[in-house]
Amino acid sequence: MSDLKRSLGEAVAAAFAAQGLPEELGRVTASDRPDLADFQCNGALPAAKVAGKPPREIAAAVVEALAGRPELASVEIAGLGFINLRVSAKALSDRAREIAGDSRAGGAEMPSPRRVIIDYAGPNVAKPMHVGHLRSSIIGESLKRLYRFRGDQVLGDAHFGDWGFQMGLLIVAACDEDPFVRTLMERLGDTPRDFNAAEERQVMDALGDHVDLTMLDRLYPQAAGLAKTDVEFRDRARRATAELQAGRPGYRLLWRQFVKVSRVALEREFHALGVDFDLWKGESDVDPLIAPMVAELEAKGLLVEDQGARVIHLARPGETKKKKAEDGTVYEAPSPDPLIVISSEGSAMYGTTDLATVLDRRKSFDPDLILYCVDQRQAGHFEQVFRASYLAGYAEPGALEHIGFGTMNGPDGKPFKTREGGVLKLHDLIEMTRAKARERLNEAGLGSELTPEEFEATAHKVAVAALKFADLSNYRGTSYIFDLDRFSSFEGKTGPYLLYQAVRIKSVLRRAEAERLEPGRISIVEPAERELALLLDAFEAALAEAYDKKAPNFIAEHAFKLAQSFSRFYAACPILQAGDAAVSASRLALAGTTLKQLELALDLLGIETPERM
């Protein structure tokens, strides 16, 4: 099954090729004059330059080659040599029926599936999540769903930040606050050892009574603040981090408790957002791989001494950037900077864990592709990790890709902050959006027939749709301004508008069912039906573009156009009161098919639709 846009594109491309012209010039797009045509091709104009012939002459040859194709009602030349294609009502009806009968709603599956890991969200133990984590979660979840839908074998990994300095901060803060924890840590000593199961259970149970989420939420900001002013505290936290990583037994168990408590809370929070991971691998998981990896890099001659650190040089000859020395003189330095594998203090770095993670993923899953959905500001870091991985032979060149994104900004154009100027916690952001959603529902007179529980569940769905659609309707690379009033409106290009349209179709379908009206054979007749059928056909092209560019905004755009087109169709073409049983049945089927595709598109964006509002 192929979409009309693609099959016409191929036919036009072949007509260009037959004239000895580049196939790419035969590109077909949706017409920007739906009153004149369904599709258009503008390639005859650039082709004229290549061929040294008038564009209309080239266009005429294309028209001739296409004449007689059964799916076309007309092919015409307009203006300087634009080719206008109009699809026949039969072809459009056939295609709409095909989509109606397709559980994938017209979205194709890739012929050769790949193995893909998507590294996204990247939350950290105890540190509150902020809007950067939100964007990563939203975009990563959507890409995961899209890749899976296209047929790839995909694993989503939260890549849990559980191994850094924040762990030492928490250990020291917990010992300072709770004498029980402190005494327990002392009693367990500092020599690494294994526990027997009973002893371990006993310690974990005891820690469970003392270390909970409220404690972590309270301790982390305190400790992070203190470390900035209190040198002694900071040094103790550094030491604790090193001792933890070296295997100090009490710290290991205390750390396990931190990780457990944090993860349970995070998983719950992500799940409420419709974000679920296949893997919760921690940065700590690759710790045992680091020593052998370093030895191997050493043996390969990739590690070099640099001011006491062990680094990998990454710049190719001639790759430099201007740098300023301490005395102000400007010089050319290799670019990108070398990757620091072991710091001058002997510790593994952020890049070291990422490099070891590439190795780990290769061993466990052997992916064809790893996508890192992380803030654009980490682009330099990933450039270093990727180059080092390729040099070390841990991944095929091109198999690692940074999916960067811009920031969500406040009205001042800077990354979004709370009114007090602090980092906005994800939790608070969602709560705020939910409150707004309730307000919007009430103001629109929606949901008044729902039970309080149903109303709450609907408000939650509206809130998630508002946040996710606002994010995903922009190309991921661009930053956008957080505007809750606009995002949560039931009008305009918003998530709530899409939910509203989907719910409207559901209610039509329910009414039809009550009136015992069955969907029937689709025939496309009216202009509004044509427009809707053409959009149903355009789903595949939108998916393909989103997939190739790793950019869900193409799906968001499609969903929005589809909803708008349905709205026009519904206004122009009565469904239940069509006055003719066959017409009613056709329109009902068209409405049901639109709903199926709309819900699928929304699902690929990670958005769930309520049954009613």
Which residues form the interface with ligand ARG (CB under 6 A)?
A: 119, 122, 124, 159, 161, 354, 372, 374
Instruction: State which residue, 94 or 283, has the beta carbon closest to ligand ARG.
Output: 283
In the bound complex, what is the minimum distance in angstroms from residue 425's beta carbon to ligand ARG?
Answer: 14
Instruction: State which residue, 81 or 123, has the beta carbon closest to ligand ARG.
Output: 123
Q: Give yes or no for a contact between 137 and 601, defined as CB atoms under 8 angstroms apart.
A: no
Instruction: State which residue, 354 or 537, has the beta carbon closest to ligand ARG.
Output: 354
Instruction: State which residue, 26 or 161, has the beta carbon closest to ligand ARG.
Output: 161
Residue 85 three-state SS: strand
In the bound complex, what is the minimum distance in angstroms from residue 382's beta carbon to ligand ARG?
Answer: 8
* Cα(260)–Cα(248) distance, integer angstroms: 18
In the bound complex, what is the minimum distance in angstroms from residue 161's beta carbon to ligand ARG?
Answer: 4
- Cβ neighbours, 10 Å, residue 1: 12
Instruction: State which residue, 402 or 438, has the beta carbon closest to ligand ARG.
Output: 402
**Which residue type sits at 500?**
Y
Q: Give yes or no for a contact between 483 and 553, defined as CB atoms under 8 angstroms apart.
A: no
In the bound complex, what is the minimum distance in angstroms from residue 331's beta carbon to ligand ARG?
Answer: 30
Q: Give yes or no for a contact between 124 and 164, defined as CB atoms under 8 angstroms apart.
A: yes
Instruction: State which residue, 3 or 119, has the beta carbon closest to ligand ARG.
Output: 119
* Cα(499)–Cα(67) distance, integer angstroms: 42
Instruction: State which residue, 55 or 122, has the beta carbon closest to ligand ARG.
Output: 122
Terminal-residue alpha carbon distance, the chain: 36
In the bound complex, what is the minimum distance in angstroms from residue 254's beta carbon to ligand ARG?
Answer: 21
In the bound complex, what is the minimum distance in angstroms from residue 107's beta carbon to ligand ARG?
Answer: 29
In the bound complex, what is the minimum distance in angstroms from residue 381's beta carbon to ligand ARG?
Answer: 7
In the bound complex, what is the minimum distance in angstroms from residue 339's beta carbon to ligand ARG?
Answer: 13
In the bound complex, what is the minimum distance in angstroms from residue 298's beta carbon to ligand ARG?
Answer: 23
Instruction: State which residue, 119 or 471, has the beta carbon closest to ligand ARG.
Output: 119
In the bound complex, what is the minimum distance in angstroms from residue 355's beta carbon to ligand ARG?
Answer: 10
Q: Give yes or no for a contact between 534 and 98, defined as CB atoms under 8 angstroms apart.
A: no
In the bound complex, what is the minimum distance in angstroms from residue 253's beta carbon to ligand ARG?
Answer: 23
Residue 218 three-state SS: helix
Which residues have a Cβ under 8 Å from the Cβ of 148 and sit 6 or more positions away?
Answer: 154
DSSP 573-596: S-STT-SSHHHHHHHHHHHHHHHH
In the bound complex, what is the minimum distance in angstroms from residue 343's beta carbon to ligand ARG?
Answer: 17
**Which residue type sits at 174?**
A
Of 273, 248, 363, give the one whose Cα is nearest residue 606. Answer: 273
Q: Is 421 left (phi over 0), alpha (psi -120 to 50) or beta?
A: left
Q: Give yes or no for a contact between 78 and 42, defined as CB atoms under 8 angstroms apart.
A: no
Residue 506, φ and ψ in degrees, nearest 5: -60, -35
In the bound complex, what is the minimum distance in angstroms from residue 389's beta carbon to ligand ARG?
Answer: 12
Exposed, middle or buried: residue 350 (CB in 10 Å: 0-12, 13-18, 19+)? middle
DSSP 486-552: HHT-SSSSSHHHHHHHHHHHHHHHHHHHHTT---------SHHHHHHHHHHHHHHHHHHHHHHHT-T
Instruction: State which residue, 207 or 373, has the beta carbon closest to ligand ARG.
Output: 373
- Token pair, residue 453, equals 């529980």
Instruction: State which residue, 162 or 243, has the beta carbon closest to ligand ARG.
Output: 162
Tell how far CA 286 is from the center of its chain.
25
- Cβ neighbours, 10 Å, residue 482: 20
In the bound complex, what is the minimum distance in angstroms from residue 374's beta carbon to ligand ARG?
Answer: 5
Instruction: State which residue, 219 or 426, has the beta carbon closest to ligand ARG.
Output: 426
* Cα(173)–Cα(234) distance, integer angstroms: 11
- Token pair, residue 409, equals 């900004």
Instruction: State which residue, 312 or 374, has the beta carbon closest to ligand ARG.
Output: 374
Residue where the block lists tokens 């950290």? 124
Omega prior to 336 cis, within 30 of 0: yes
Instruction: State which residue, 119 or 557, has the beta carbon closest to ligand ARG.
Output: 119
Omega prior to 128 cis, within 30 of 0: no
Which residues have a Cβ under 8 Å from the Cβ of 205 and sit 6 or more positions away?
Answer: none
In the bound complex, what is the minimum distance in angstroms from residue 124's beta carbon to ligand ARG?
Answer: 5
Instruction: State which residue, 48 or 129, has the beta carbon closest to ligand ARG.
Output: 129
* Cα(127)–Cα(133) distance, integer angstroms: 11
Instruction: State which residue, 181 or 289, has the beta carbon closest to ligand ARG.
Output: 289
Which residues have a Cβ under 8 Å from the Cβ of 308 and sit 6 or more positions away?
Answer: 344
| Residues in a beta bridge with 151 | none
* Cα(383)–Cα(125) distance, integer angstroms: 25
Q: Give yes or no for a contact between 361 and 367, defined as CB atoms under 8 angstroms apart.
A: yes
- Closest-by-Cβ residue to ligand ARG is 122
